[in-house]
Amino acid sequence: MTDTPQTDTHADAVEVAGGRLIRTQGVTAPAGFRGAGIAAGIKASGKPDLALVFNEGPDTAAAGVFTTNKVKAAPVLWSQQVLTAGALRAVVLNSGGANACTGAPGFQDTHATAEHVAATLSDWGTETGAGEVAVCSTGLIGDRLPMDKLLAGVTEIVHELAGGISGGTDAAYAIMTTDTVPKQAALHHADKWNVGGMAKGAGMLAPALATMLSVVTTDAVATAAQLDEALRAATRLSFDRLDVDGATSTNDTVLLLASGASGVAPSQEELNAAVLAVCDDLADQMMADAEGVTKRVTVTVAGAASESDALIGARTVARDSLVKTALFGSDPNWGRVLAAIGIAPITLDPDRITVSFNGNPVCIDGVGAPGAREVDLSGEDIALRIELGVGDAEVSIRTTDLSHAYVEENSAYSS
């Protein structure tokens, strides 16, 4: 692991959702899960590119949320099909290739990968069917995966797991693409059950789901239906509210697996809160590591007629290239904010809009406030708040500025 950056150690625990959340642990924090990450040779760089998350049980309940893009990668089509049964024994993930737009042969590659994971786990002693193995891929769209390397890697990684290594962090490294740091979070609930997660995603961040892969695990006792409710609610309020460039990937996948190993069955509300806390923290880490980010921006639309209006308004501003380039330039150009919100298809009155940057009012009732051009936005964190004054709904969207580095990273090579 010497060729990759160290885990970002925001290790200070945060009290949230009835437990303590830390960033130094991930998918193997809950009991009953093993993980591993290796370099299988899929990436030309030789960096880690294959990860496995294995559920030892006793339960195998699971749920998934997938991209809404009509162009879906082969592993998404496969995993959606697998999840209809509501159970997963393992998730295999590769970076170095998205296996998207690869036609029927690409789907056969995904199927073969799941079959090989199942067979190797069965050989090891845990009877597993291919229909209990989800597959996730990330990387360049359009190329077939090097199946010889991938299948050999599967054999190797199952042997690593069998060696008793609990490598959640290794798995988090192995799914990175343009990420500069792995993203992990684990919540240790006061009632002796746990939720852990890992995520990758730095470019193409948008709804529904930021272009991303994420696996979340828990040792709580929960049915597939309970997991599905918790996961949908959590992604709606976390990953779906991270919007860097309005792009939506062909491969977005978020999975939630429960082992039941804690023996504790939390209430639906407790489960929802814990899964949300982990997803929200992972989304925050993804924003901070987004491609070319120089500013971490939260766009809040308040006083909207409905939550839907607030969400659409915040998203419209968060995606506006002219707002984002102004923020890159630390320019409190509130006129662009008004121009942006004005094209959102929502209820608004131009003469009642109030805008503030980091708490400093720059526009009141649609007209510039004194000193608006002098507000200092030179720091890395910008809170942009837009009060519509037509209702009570409020939604925040995480986004970034539009920088030279974003253009560089996305133009200099195929990714």
Please choose, out of 51-59, 165-173, 267-275, 321-329, the segment that lies near a second copy by the rule CB under 8 A: 321-329
30-69 binders of a second copy (CB under 8 A)? 68-69
Q: Is 376 in the site for a second copy (CB under 8 A)?
A: no
177 is in an annotated binding site: yes
Residue 6 corresponds to which tokens in the numbers above? 């160290």
Residue by residue, what is the 3-state secondary structure of the chain? CCCCCCCCCCCCCEEECCEEEECCCCCCCCCCEEEEEECCCCCCCCCCCEEEEEECCCCCEEEEEECCCCCCCHHHHHHHHHHCCCECCEEEEECCECCCCCHHHHHHHHHHHHHHHHHHHHHHCCCCCHHHEEEEEECCCCCCCCHHHHHHHHHHHHHHHHCCCCCHHHHHHHCCCCCCCCEEEEEEECCCCEEEEEEECCCCCCCCCCCCEEEEEECCCCCHHHHHHHHHHHHHHCHHHECCCCCCCCCCEEEEEECCCCCCCCCHHHHHHHHHHHHHHHHHHHHHCCCCCCCEEEEEEEEECCHHHHHHHHHHHHHCHHHHHHHHCCCCCHHHHHHHHCCCCCCCCHHHCEEEECCEEEEECCEECCCHHHCCCCCCEEEEEEECCCCCEEEEEEEECCCHHHHHHHHCCCC
Q: Which is nearer to a second copy, 180 or 347 (CB)?
A: 347
Tell whether residue 203 is a contact of a second copy (CB under 8 A). Answer: yes
Tokens of 270: 């407790």
Query: What's the CA gap between 313 and 65, in Å, rounded?
Result: 24
Told to check if 98 binds a second copy by CB under 8 A, we report yes
The tokens 């982990």 sit on which residue? 278
Please tell me whether residue 400 binds a second copy under the rule CB under 8 A: no
Q: Is 213 in the site for a second copy (CB under 8 A)?
A: no
Selected range binding a second copy among 51-59, 213-221, 259-267, 316-324, rule: CB under 8 A: 316-324
**375 part of the interface to a second copy, by CB under 8 A:** no
Q: Is 200 annotated as a binding residue?
A: yes
User: Please, which residue, 28 or 178, has the CB nearer to a second copy?
Assistant: 178
> What single-letter amino acid sits at 93?
L
The nearest distance, CB 339 to a second copy, in angstroms, is 5
410 is in an annotated binding site: yes
Residue 305 in contact with a second copy, rule: CB under 8 A: no
Min separation Cβ 195 and a second copy, Å: 30
92 lies in the site for a second copy, by CB under 8 A: no
- 9 tagged catalytic: no
Q: Please check whether residue 278 is in contact with residue 195, taking contact to mean a CB–CB distance below 8 angstroms.
A: yes
Give yes or no for residue 328 binding a second copy (CB under 8 A).
yes
Choices 6-14, 217-225, 281-289, 324-332; region in contact with a second copy by CB under 8 A = 324-332
Q: Is 149 annotated as a binding residue?
A: no
By beta-carbon proximity to a second copy, the closer residue of 5 and 342 is 342
Which region, judged by CB under 8 A, interacts with a second copy, from 44-52, 156-164, 275-283, 329-337? 329-337
> Is residue 295 part of an annotated ligand binding site?
no
Residue closer to a second copy (CB basis): 91 or 341: 341
374 binding a second copy? (CB under 8 A):
no
Q: Which of 25, 102, 126, 253 binds a second copy (CB under 8 A)?
A: 102
Order of strands across the sheet that contains 194-200: 14-16, 19-22, 183-189, 194-200, 213-218, 253-258, 62-66
Work out whether 412 is an interface residue with a second copy (CB under 8 A).
Answer: yes
Kindly tell me which of 11 and 407 has the beta carbon lying closer to a second copy: 407
Least Å distance, CB 374 to a second copy, is: 12
Residues in the interface with a second copy (CB under 8 A) total 63
Which residue out of 211, 253, 354, 400 is catalytically annotated?
A: 211
Query: Do 199 and 214 form a contact (C-beta atoms < 8 A)?
Result: yes
Minimum distance, C-beta of residue 415 to a second copy, in the bound complex (Å): 8
**Sign of the dihedral defined by the CA atoms of residues 218, 221, 225, 226, in that order:** negative
Interacting residue with a second copy among 242, 340, 377, 386 (CB under 8 A): 340
Binding site for substrate: what residues are annotated? 177, 200, 211, 291, 410, 415
Residues that bind a second copy (CB under 8 A): 68-72, 98, 100-103, 140-143, 203-204, 245-250, 319-322, 325-326, 328-329, 331, 333-336, 338-343, 348, 350-351, 353, 363, 365-368, 372-373, 402-404, 406-408, 410-414
Catalogue the active-site residues: 211
